[in-house]
Amino acid sequence: MNSEKSAALWTEANRVLVGGVNSPVRAFSAVGGDPFFVASGSGARITDADGNEYIDYVLSWGPLILGHAHPAVTEAVTKALKLGASFGIPTEAEVRLGEVIAGLVPSIEKVRLVNSGTEATMSALRLARGYTGRDLIVKVEGCYHGHADGLLVKAGSGLTTLGTPTSPGVPAAYASCTLTMPYNDLDAAREILEAKGDDVACIILEPIPGNMGVILPDDGYLQGLRDLTKKHGALLIFDEVMSGFRVAIGGAQEHYGVTPDLTTLGKVIGGGLPVGAYGGPAEIMDHLSPVGPVYQAGTLSGNPLATAAGLATLDVLTQPGVFDQAVQAMTDLSEGLGAIAKKAGVPVYQTGLGTMACMFFNEGPVRNYEDATASDTERFARYFRGMLSRGVYVAPSQYEAGFTSIAHDSDVIEKTLEAASAAMAD
């Protein structure tokens, strides 16, 4: 596989971009080797700077559920661009995207559009603190909500001891307002709320984590958190930036029938352009400026290009049977990979729902961060390189999710499984 142009670009990138990238995971640190530079995408496939083609299961880390360069999205963004890229003045498109989101996500009556998932979660936390008048937040170990200071925190020595920063630059004072608990452990949530409940503004979690691989909630876990937060007057925030429009059109909250107080979204609702969002009942959301006192703002929030891409994506995705195409692709892929691993005698533990899934190189079960981080990351890295060399790009880390799109047809899945049969034997 020729990689001359990617290699030259990688050298140039490292001179001017920190680590050669604009987001760390793209640097392939977890899997070894240097990343390729992509030149274009179409449907389920991407082509790199040297003309090598790959079947893509990262899909820009989730947004591209219609596949790359879907005509409906391309046409919508091109049309919007010809009318002007940005105004900083209300436009109809942001109203329509708000209406579509509110119509599809059970917990959302009012929504605020922003420009990234990080901005959505950072703002939702400020709203929860402003609404409750409380300072502490509780997050789940292994859940990732973007890089806002108060979320780059690891557990203290005990459940009710205050968090400590996971990154330099985060003041201990910020981290000390964050408590951390294991996923799928209601006793831990109960212990924290009974000890600190009067000071806890919210619990935030990915209802189906996709940033420690994909892990599903135990029966009753999400409803248990819903009951506990209600009892203690804390808000429940579902970060569905990844699971939204991926595990189900209405996200994990629709699938499990558990309604959070606030929901954060991103990725799919932007169709590949920068969009984040957070929403909930008007009674909470109206605490936000300009109606209420909790401040949040953004120059490009709801901009015409991103809202055009999001609207086009959701319009196609919600047509009868379309979402199910991407679900079927993931079902077929997962079944095929399981059979291949079994035949090769490689212990894997598979998880997933809808159009997002994960194959842990792990005997299993994987119920939380501790289980996930016991996976054989070396074996995963070998599998990643084996797939890449055979034209299949899976996420360059054991702790990421895999995604399908409506463009991942049976031929794409068949070619993927052929590559996997060989890669599993590497």
End-to-end CA distance of the chain: 17
Non-local (6+) Cβ contacts of 83 within 8 A are 304
Cβ nearer to ligand KE4, comparing 308 with 401: 401
Cβ nearer to ligand KE4, comparing 211 with 334: 211
Residue ranges that bind ligand KE4, judged by CB under 6 A? 23, 25, 61, 116-118, 121, 144-146, 206, 210-211, 239, 241-242, 266, 276, 400
Q: Interior CA angle at 247 toward 245 and 251, to 5°?
A: 55
Set 48, 56, 239, 371: catalytic member: 239
Shortest distance, position 198 Cβ to ligand KE4, whole Å:
28
Set 267, 278, 332, 349: catalytic member: 267
60: number of Cβ within 10 Å: 16
Angstrom distances, CA of residue 206 to CA of 35, 88, 146, 197, 348: 28, 31, 12, 21, 23
Shortest distance, position 354 Cβ to ligand KE4, whole Å:
15
What residue number has its CB nearest to ligand KE4? 117
Cβ nearer to ligand KE4, comparing 117 with 271: 117
Q: Cβ distance 91 to 330 under 8 Å?
A: no
Nearest to 354 by CA among 397, 410, 301, 402: 402
Shortest distance, position 141 Cβ to ligand KE4, whole Å:
14
Nearest to 343 by CA among 261, 226, 422, 234: 422
Shortest distance, position 343 Cβ to ligand KE4, whole Å:
30
Shortest distance, position 417 Cβ to ligand KE4, whole Å:
25
Q: Is residue 144 annotated as a catalytic residue, yes or no?
A: yes
CB burial of 161-186 (b: ≥16 within 10 Å; e: otherwise) equals ebbbbeeeebeeebbbbbbbbbbbbb
79: number of Cβ within 10 Å: 12
Count Cβ atoms within 10 A of the Cβ of residue 376 and give its class: 0-12 exposed, 13-18 middle, 19 or more buried: middle
Cβ nearer to ligand KE4, comparing 222 with 241: 241
Residue with tokens 């003045």: 89
Cβ nearer to ligand KE4, comparing 50 with 149: 149
Cβ nearer to ligand KE4, comparing 328 with 351: 351
Cβ nearer to ligand KE4, comparing 197 with 210: 210
Set 54, 57, 131, 144: catalytic member: 144
Shortest distance, position 312 Cβ to ligand KE4, whole Å:
19
Cβ nearer to ligand KE4, comparing 30 with 72: 30
SS3 408: coil
Q: Is residue 267 annotated as a catalytic residue, yes or no?
A: yes
Q: Cβ distance 138 to 180 under 8 Å?
A: yes
Shortest distance, position 119 Cβ to ligand KE4, whole Å:
7
Q: Cβ distance 134 to 161 under 8 Å?
A: no
SS3 92: helix
Residue with tokens 């892990």: 215
Residue with tokens 């579902």: 238
Rounded CA separation 277/385 (Å): 35
Shortest distance, position 106 Cβ to ligand KE4, whole Å:
18
Q: What is the set of active-site residues?
A: 144, 239, 267
